[in-house]
Structure formats: C-alpha cells, structure tokens
Amino acid sequence: AAAGFVVVMSNPRGSSGREQAWGQAILGRKHPVAPGSGWGDADVKDVLAVLDGALAKYPFIDGKRVGMLGGSYGGYMATMLAGCHSDRFKAICSERAVNNMLSEEWTSDIGTVFRVEHGPNHLEDEAEYVRMSPIRHVRNIDVPMLIIHSENDLRCPINQAEELFMALRLLKKDVTFYRFPGETHELSRSGSPLHRVQRAEIILDFFTSKLNA
C-alpha cells in the first residue's frame, strides 16, 4: 500500500479466523467426515466475490488494472485464478505454490496429510487430484505471471514452480521465474534479510511494470 497500490485481502472459505464450518468448507468431496467443495471451487468463487465487492464499494479502484499475489495455498489460488479467470487480472504473482496436486503429494513433507484433507489420496482418486490442479488450466493463462520459489522448500518443493514455469515457457506465455537458493517455505517471514528485500523489490517492480503497461 505504501508503494501506491490499493491492497485488498480476502478470507475465502477454507481459511482460518471464522467458525469451524468455514475452515472445513473446502475439504475433499469424498471426505469421510465433513465433505466439502474440494480445493479450487468455493474458494475461487469467494476470492472473485471479494474482488467484485471491493470494485463496487470503492470507485477509486481501477478494475482494469488488478493484480493478484498469493503464497503457499495463496499461491495455489493465484495460479488457479490465472488459469480460470485471466480476464479479471492484469498481472499475477504465484509464490511457493502448489500447482500440480499429483506431484505435490509425491514430494511434499506433509504428503500424508492429503488423505486427511481430501479423503482419498491421488492413487485412489486421480481424477479429483487432476481437477484440483491449477496446472491443468495452464493453456488458458493469458496474464503475465511472476513465479517465486525457494530451492529448499520442503512443503511445496521447487518442482511445483519448475513445472508451471516450463509449461508456460513451452506455450510462449509471459512468465518470469525467480528461485532463491538456501531458502525454505518461510522465505517471506524468516528468510535471510537480503533475500527478503530482494523478494519485495522483485514483486513491487513486477506489479509496477505490468499494471502500468
């Protein structure tokens, strides 16, 4: 905000901070206890609803120059929205994201949690994991993308960024990829001071350039 951007923060279904049902709303469609919408459905609708609400309430926001930034699950949302709703955004930054749910379960340090979150694992319901994967929409990404990822991220391993970057490059899309050596999933919070400053500068430069183009 200090750099001159209007900042809107959302709390979509699946987030913390509200009642239990709100947090459980995006559990897997075949979850044995509390089936929900699964990732990439109700949560996407909520983020778009927040955007629409902000544009309606604050006329000084330019709806033709909207950017999105998200990290971790927010990075997942950023990539998903880039693939499903590119027309709503002028630039998107996806950080430390889950982009391919199949390979994420194979490599993440919390891969066993997927069964807790989604019900079946990817071997038991491959189709649902494909449905939830933002990378399946990569051909529809028509918005400039900035990808930021740490090389030592065990939660969302670096291959998540590499897969998205390579797919976008093969499709000749507008994409920039920064990878931070020696950093983990916590780069933005507890990374080295130098890398945290560099990350902030990269993001500000990206949005300043793309939103003003």
Block means of pLDDT (10 residues each) for the chain, length 213 residues?
Answer: 94 94 96 96 98 98 98 98 98 99 93 91 95 98 99 98 99 99 98 98 98 93
Side-chain half-sphere exposure of 17, counting CA atoms within 13 A: 6
CATH of domain 20-211: 3.40.50.1820
Q: Which residue has the tokens 């890398």?
A: 195
Q: What is the pTM of this model?
A: 0.96
Helical residues (DSSP H) of 39-152, grouped into ranges: 42-57, 73-84, 101-107, 113-118, 126-132
In terms of Cβ atoms closer than 10 Å to its own Cβ (0-12, 13-18, 19+), residue 136 is: middle
| Whole-angstrom distance, CA of residue 96 vs CA of residue 62 | 28
Beta-bridge partner residues of 209: none
Q: Which residue has the tokens 């918005």?
A: 143
* pLDDT of the residue at 62: 97
Residues contacting 22, CB < 8 A, separation 6+: 13, 14, 15
Structure token digits, residue 172: 């000749």
* pLDDT of the residue at 210: 98
Domain boundaries, the chain: 20-211
C-beta of residue 144 within 8 angstroms of C-beta of residue 115: no
* pLDDT of the residue at 112: 86
Residues contacting 18, CB < 8 A, separation 6+: 11
Supply the residues annotated as catalytic.
Answer: 72, 185
Question: Can you say whether the dihedral through the CA atoms of 22, 148, 48, 9 is positive or negative?
Answer: positive
